[in-house]
A and B are shown apart, each in its own frame.
Chain A
Amino acid sequence: MINMAFCWLILLGRAVQKLVFGELRVSEQQQLRDKFWNFVFYKFIFVFGIINVQYIDEVLLWCSWFALLGFLHLLSQLSKDRFEYLSFSPRTPFWSHVKLMALLAAIFALSGFMLLVSVFVGFFGGFNTFAFMSAEVVLLAIRTLHIIIRYALHLYDIRQESATAMNTSDEGKAWEKRGPISYYTELSFELTALIIDLIHHLHMLLWSNIFLSMASLVICMQLRYLFHEIQRKNYLWVRNHLEQNYPMATTEELQNNSDNCAICWEKMDSARKLPCTHLFHNTCLLSWLEQDTSCPTCRMALNIQTPSPTQMEPPELQADPQENTRRPFNHFFHFDGSRYVSWLPSFSVEVSHIQAIRQNHVTASNSQLDAMARQVQTLFPHIPLSVIIDDLRVTRSVELTIENVLDGRLVAPPIFRDLDINQQTSRPLTLLQSNAEPSTTRNWDEFSTDNVETEDTVMLGSRFSKSSSEREKILHRRKENMIQMARRRYIEKQKAAAAAAARSDLQS
């Protein structure tokens, strides 16, 4: 009987796999196997070590219970992997989304049912049995629900994307809201899963003292995760900081700035402005500042690491005291502890924007100055670095220096200008040479199809197809073309070199 039940389970598993996933990828198989053995091993220890069952039918009951659970666990894990994989691809058929969602919903429903069963059993078997049985089920349910919600968010996202073509203003708002929502769901799900896991383990620990070392090891690992999770909370106050210190850009500023957001490369309908006048989407900026506290464009360090009480004051532009700004511009994780110690007397000042920039830059370190100088130099390569740095020392702002250059207040010394002219004249020459070379030596008969192919590349290069298979094909053709061209050029050069060598041989 039991054997048959297991057989049916396996068959069912196969069927579901065929139906929903089709062929499994190698990495998925690998992970599935790992998970499976892990689960079996773990539950084996649980059944014999912790509950210490005596009778064979009890063992059988536990085993079948866990087999069913493990099966569902594996399925949910698999669908999570598959979901992550699908989210990597822009062209997923609608149907596979439906199938995956249906499977997830089924798993969720089944876990709810199993929870009911465990309540029922627990009613007769006592609290401990219930707790042991239900813990895993609840975990399963939570994980599944988590995946479902993530999936739903992702689908919503994709829909939004296709909707953007029609109306852009709506999307901006939805996007703004989506960031915090996804963050909170992520956080709450992971936290509840971890807490339940923790309670489960603690329970096991109390129940049996035999496997103390083993279980406590696992618990320690869980605790570490929990700790890590809670550390992520600084997201919250990065956001607060952002909202209080950096104003939203006005509509005029947005209109003047025609660029897209530099982080996601999408249009900005609303944006937040950093003290260095760079604009970004609110959510994009937030997720970057979580990992690094500098402006993505100009690397200006932001003084996020000082959540001083003065932030409760009206949201004017704040200039922190200079002692604070001297700190290293590292991850703000390290400043979590010190932020209670460093309640240095901050003052809030109302200043115009340019002054704020200057104030913030007073303590800019040398490396920052260097970086700024390099930035200016990429715009104006004819001006030597030293001149730029000198000017930056005075202006303390990339923008002001660039303005100086544009207004002609900052010019390159004459030597450099000469050099620049030389470079400019020499560049077209080399270009000409490289262009001329192939055309003069193109009378090798094997390359007679040359002209057709070059035309082809021009056409290929200036098109971005809507259909992905066509894109793939074009990319492939372009790559092959490039290798062919390089080959041809190389052979020609070799022949030319050989000919030149032969000529010089003849002459001598």
Chain B
Amino acid sequence: MAGSALRRLMAEYKQLTLNPPEGIIAGPINEENFFEWEALITGPEGTCFEGGVFPAKLIFPPDYPLSPPKMQFTCEMFHPNIYSDGRVCISILHAPGDDPMGYESSAERWSPVQSVEKILLSVVSMLAEPNDESGANVDAAKMWRENREEFNNIAEKIVRRTLGIPT
């Protein structure tokens, strides 16, 4: 099982290296273990996360294209769809079987034709447009709805922190 997963991950790594999408870098942290990647995601322009470079960890299961990887931001994040420990909650990362929130149609779920690139692109669009219906971080969702200015301030601080610029 792991053999085909390895080949597929290698192919994806190659593709991501040769044609990297704008503002996204991803690859194995250490090639001893090809099932643990780190991704850097640039905050989309024109949003409150603009300019930040957010590191995240991707953990792939041994049966990879059949089951989705897990994704977790390793920097501090404040976003309606990211748990406070950094785990990302988007439908593309959920297997078709389980539906923790009970609202996603299976069309948006994980399937083997998805890829690391597609996951990261959807995370970028999630950063740009939070889905405040699925509250992974309820505080953030509330603030996003009711007090956008405060939310933007916090996001700005996080952006500075990821760039190593003192706030």
Contacts and interface: CB of A to CB of B under 8 A. Distances in A.
Nearest to B4: A264
B112 interface: yes
A299 B107 contact: yes
B93 interface: no
B80 interface: no
A157 interface: yes
Given A296-B113, A486-B52, A90 B10 contact: yes
B2 A486 contact: no
A87 B97 contact: no
Nearest to B18: A464
Contacts of B63: 287
A87 B60 CA distance: 13
Nearest to B67: A291
A470 to B, nearest CB: 10
Interface string B1-38: 11110111011111001101001010110111111001
A493 interface: yes
Interface in B30-52: 30-35, 38, 40, 42, 45, 51-52
Contacts of A157: 3-4
A299 B30 CA distance: 35
Interface in B132-167: 159-160, 163-165
Nearest to A366: B105
Contact of A264 (B25, B42, B65, B111): B65
Contacts of A89: 31-34
A464 B17 contact: yes
Interface in A3-59: none
A85 B35 CA distance: 10
B62 interface: yes
B68 to A, nearest CB: 12
Interface in B81-135: 95-97, 105-107, 111-113
B3 A158 contact: yes
Contact of B17 (A262, A367, A463): A463
B96 A491 contact: no
B74 to A, nearest CB: 13
B10 to A, nearest CB: 6
Contacts of B77: none
29 contacts: A84-B62, A87-B2, A88-B62, A89-B31, A89-B32, A90-B6, A161-B3, A182-B1, A263-B65, A263-B112, A265-B7, A287-B63, A288-B112, A291-B96, A292-B95, A292-B96, A294-B106, A297-B111, A329-B106, A461-B18, A461-B20, A472-B31, A475-B28, A479-B38, A482-B25, A483-B164, A486-B52, A487-B164, A490-B165
